[in-house]
Each structure stands twice: as structure tokens, then as C-alpha cells.
Structure 1
Amino acid sequence: MAVWQADNIKIQGLLVRFLRWTPDFSPGEEPPLAPVWITLPGLPLFCYNEDFLVSVGGLVGRVLKIHGPTSIGTRTEAARLCIGLRINAPHPEWIWLGFPGQKGRWQKVVYERIPFYCNYCHKFGHNHSIYKFSPLIQVTQAATENEKELGDRKDANAQRSTIEGTTKA
């Protein structure tokens, strides 16, 4: 588990960090994958078997570990799973447990401490908001300013057409 978590490990006195390989691998970037614990509060007791938990957890990400008390059924108020999560992708807050068109239920998913990931430098520990002058921030700000300016123009045109419509009548 320590290797997958990208912890630093000493091998013959040298610090080594293992990262999972992905097709879009780039040597200077950290892939946006991290182990994150999720909680499934109120999951019915009959759902507390390994195959079912792996299946449910697979709807969120790759199941890396089932919490000990969850796997033996001693903590039944909420199931806990460690999931390999793609940090920069959307995360479902609810998942459907059941078959389409049949009885089932919506299950709440609670994420515990999702780490910060920067889409600008592709590193963990912060998000892109620390880069005040980054191209990503500048492009976003320019787009927002353009949208605001366009909205102001539309409002002005709408006011003009309203005024012109009332003066002509």
C-alpha cells in the first residue's frame, strides 16, 4: 500500500518514490491518482461482503483496501473503503444500488480528505490558485472578463431596444 500511495521509500540509502504508470505519463508530473478513503453511511448489513463492497466501490474508483472493521462486520453504521481515485475527475456524491427498473436505493458517498492537486504544475499539495500569474489563471480571468463584457453589451442592447420600442410606440 505504501508504494501505491507514492510515499518516499529508502532503498540502499536513496529516497525512491514509485508512481503508478499511466498512458499519459510525463516524467516531471505526478499522475492525478491518489488513495482516498470513502464512507458509505447507512449501508445495509447484508451488503457487507467483500464482493459486493468491491463492486460498489468500483463505481467510484479502484478498490485498494476494505477497512478491517467493515470487512468483519463490526462497524455497521458506515462501510469504509480505500479507493484509487482520479483527483481531477468528478466524484459521485450518490450511487444507485439496484437494477434498472427494479427496487434499489441511492447510497451517499462521503470522501475523506481528498488531497489538493494542481492542474497547472501537475503536483500534489496545492491547487492552481497559488499561481497568480499562471497562463491557466490568466486565460480563465480573460474568459470571465470577456463573458462579462459580452453580457454588459447584451444588457445595453436590450435596454436600447426597449427604449427604442417605447419611444416609437
Structure 2
Amino acid sequence: MRVFKWSPDFEAEKESMIAPIWISFPNLKAHLYEKSALLLIAKTVKKSLFIDEATANGSRPSVARGCMEYDCRKAPVDQVWIVVKDRVTRAVIGGYAERVEFSKMPKYCDHCCHVGHSVSNCLVLRNWPKKQGKPPGNKPLKDDGRES
């Protein structure tokens, strides 16, 4: 079951393309682990929901993680730009790119409006997923109707 915010254009037969996604910032600088800073950084990607417990208490310094709302139709960004300001004058003194990693980005089908597959694998369009080898039970029949 997926729960999402209701909107006036809600249609029961269409699933929302907005889904909660976990994102990670590997090797984020220590001073950016503060909750307000991390939520601000995540907000540059999309609407931030919350950060995980290990990030909040600093028990996993190798990666910071947050959950956010993301449009499944869009390709995930691979980096964000962090602006560095002088603490006294607040003037911009530099910046750097911070890597962003998405975990388990769901696919969205623009044809049938469902999460879990893309148009190329849409069953409504009869785009069956390609399987390795032949499925069991689909052996050619002999002339007398028996399997060969």
C-alpha cells in the first residue's frame, strides 16, 4: 500500500508518480550532518521528508541519508552544488559538487500510469518482459498433439 497526499486532480486508476525515495550523500563533510543543513541540501534535489536515525545521531559518518519525495519519471540527479559562504560576511567564497546516490528508484509507466514498470515492459501494451530461455511447458507439439 502506498499513501500519498491527496490532490484535486486525483484519479483512482492512476498511481502517483511521486514516491518516497532514500538518497545518500557519501563522504559528506562533517559540519553538514546538522539536520537543517542536510535537509537544505536534500531540498535541492526535491522535497525533503526526514533523515535516517544513523545520520541524525552521527553513528555512520561515511554516508548521510535522507528520505524525500521524487518524481519517478525523472532521471535521478547524480550531484548537487554546495555553495560555501564566509561565516561573517555571508559572501560566497566558493563551492563544490557533492555526489548523490538514489536507492531503488521505482519505474513509472506513462502509458498505464502505474509504478513498478516502464513503458517498454507495459503489459497493457503487451510489451512482455524478456525472459532467459523458453518458459517451461511451451515445447513444440508433434503432429498428433503430444509434446515432443
Counterparts of residues 82-97 of structure 1 (less than 5 Å): 82-97=67-82
Asked if residue 116 in structure 1 is aligned to residue 107 in structure 2, the reply is yes
Equivalent residue number for residue 102 of structure 1: 93
Deviates more, 1:86-95 or 1:123-132: 123-132
Counterpart of 1:66 (choices 31, 51, 54) is 51
- Residues 94-150 of structure 1 show CA distances to partners (whole Å, capped at 9, x for unaligned) of 10000596311100000000012111111111111124884xx9xxxxxxxxxxxxx
Gaps (5+ residues) in structure 1?
7-17, 138-169
Equivalent residue number for residue 159 of structure 1: none
Equivalent residue number for residue 130 of structure 1: 121
- Residues 15-74 of structure 1 show CA distances to partners (whole Å, capped at 9, x for unaligned) of xxx432245432210110111111101100010111001100101111112010101111
AA of the residue aligned to 1:92: V
* Counterpart contact for 2:28–2:64, Cα < 8 Å: yes
Distance (whole Å) between structure 1 residues aligned to residue 123 and residue 57 of structure 2: 49
Q: Secondary structure at the match of 1:27?
A: coil
Distance (whole Å) between structure 2 residues aligned to residue 51 and residue 73 of structure 1: 14
Distance (whole Å) between structure 2 residues aligned to residue 53 and residue 131 of structure 1: 37
Equivalent residue number for residue 33 of structure 1: 18
Change (3 A) 1:116 1:90: closer
Distance (whole Å) between structure 2 residues aligned to residue 132 and residue 114 of structure 1: 20
AA of the residue aligned to 1:21: W
Distance (whole Å) between structure 1 residues aligned to residue 32 and residue 104 of structure 2: 25
Structure 1 runs of 4+ off > 3 angstroms?
A: 131-134
* Counterpart contact for 1:19–1:30, Cα < 8 Å: no
Aligned residue pair count: 120
TM-score (norm 1): 0.64
Greater helix percent: which structure? 1
Gaps (5+ residues) in structure 2?
86-91, 128-148
Counterpart of 1:46 (choices 8, 22, 31) is 31
TM-score (norm 2): 0.72
